[in-house]
Amino acid sequence: MGVPVNDRRPATPRTAIVTGGGGALGSAIGHRLAQDGVTVVLADIDLDAAERAAAEPAPGSGGALLARHVDMADPASVRRLADEAAAELGGINVIVNNAAIQRRGGLRDARAADWDAALAVNLRGPALLCAAAVPYWERQAGGSVVNIASRVWLSGGPPVYVAAKAGLVGLTRSLATELGPLGVTANAVAPGFVPTEFTRAGRDAAELAELAERNRRITPLDRVTEPADVANAVAFLASAQARCITGEILHVCGGAQLAPLPG
């Protein structure tokens, strides 16, 4: 059976931008995409971290890894990233919105500045990056967006972080409907707890181990999600194999998105 005539995405994505690319999760995603032959820009506010991630050996990699700076809270920086990446690489096939900041604490602890910072990086930045890519997707007649959400959009939790991630789910669905006519798919991956520096921040080793154990206990698969699990899901959604999937939220959390059975 031939490829449908209205399937306008390249069979193999050629270029990708992964924000938050200097962290463990962004680095894992970038290296996994590179294995599929994608040239990946690892973009991060910490350029040194992005450069270290890009320099890590990647066995079996068929694509190059580049490091670039971006401040997702700065609209001008976001636009510059898109334009410079497109000019350097000849276009943008995939955007992975992975950059995020965490704001813990309850409603009464959250300051206006906490809300502004989290929404700027976790929600507004991804929207602006996708908007900046639209002219290139129009020219290429296709592309894909994978937003890194979180299981907490279902479960609740620290309101600043949860609201931003729930907003990212809503943005994903809006992008799917608006960008679909351009041949662009938009999906989200919603991980559970992943042991990275992001989740370690502000916790000692004992607290982190206890948090990991609590999360393991609520998963039907009895396991903790690893960066590679998330990276594999992103690679699938960014590939031509997912050409007819859009507007979906793929939970990669061992089944923790399901309400635990009473027992």
**Cα distances (angstroms) measured from residue 35 to each of 64, 65, 199, 235:** 9, 10, 26, 9
* Distance from the first to the final alpha carbon of the chain: 49
Which pair of tokens denotes residue 15? 């270029």
Sequence-separated contacts (24+) of 50-54 with Cβ below 8 Å: 50/21, 50/22, 51/22, 52/22, 53/21, 53/22, 53/23, 53/26, 53/27, 54/21, 54/30
Distance CA 177, CA 185 (A): 9
Please check whether residue 13 is in contact with residue 41, taking contact to mean a CB–CB distance below 8 angstroms: no
User: What DSSP string describes 101-159?
Assistant: ----S-GGG--HHHHHHHHIIIIIHHHHHHHHHHHHHHHHT-EEEEEE--THHHH--SH
Distance CA 126, CA 134 (A): 13
How are beta strands 249-252 and 184-191 bridged, if at all?
parallel
Tell me the backbone φ, ψ of residue 13, rounded to 5 degrees.
Answer: -55, 140
DSSP state, residue 259: P
* Active site members: 161
Identity of the residue numbered 211: L
